[in-house]
Amino acid sequence: MNKQIHWYILLFAVSVLVQVLFMNNLQFSRFLNPYFYLLFIIILPMNIPRYLLLLLGFILGMTIDVFTNTPGIHASATVFVAFLRPFILNASNLDDKEKVMCPTMANIGFTLFFRYAAILIVIHHFFLFYIEIFSFTGFLQTFLRSFLSSIFTFVFIVISQFLIFRK
Distances (CA, A) of 167 to 91, 105, 110, 121, 164: 25, 9, 13, 24, 9
pLDDT score recorded for residue 79: 97
- What is the distance between the alpha carbons of residues 12 and 60, in angstroms, rounded to a whole number? 8
Please tell me the pTM assigned to this model.
0.90
The confidence score (pLDDT) of residue 90 equals 85
The predicted pLDDT at position 100 comes to: 56
Q: Is 111 left (phi over 0), alpha (psi -120 to 50) or beta?
A: alpha
Give me the pLDDT at residue 104, please: 86
Series of mean pLDDT values for 10-residue runs along the chain (167 residues): 77 92 77 88 91 96 93 95 93 62 85 92 94 84 90 92 76
Q: What is the pLDDT of residue 164?
A: 79
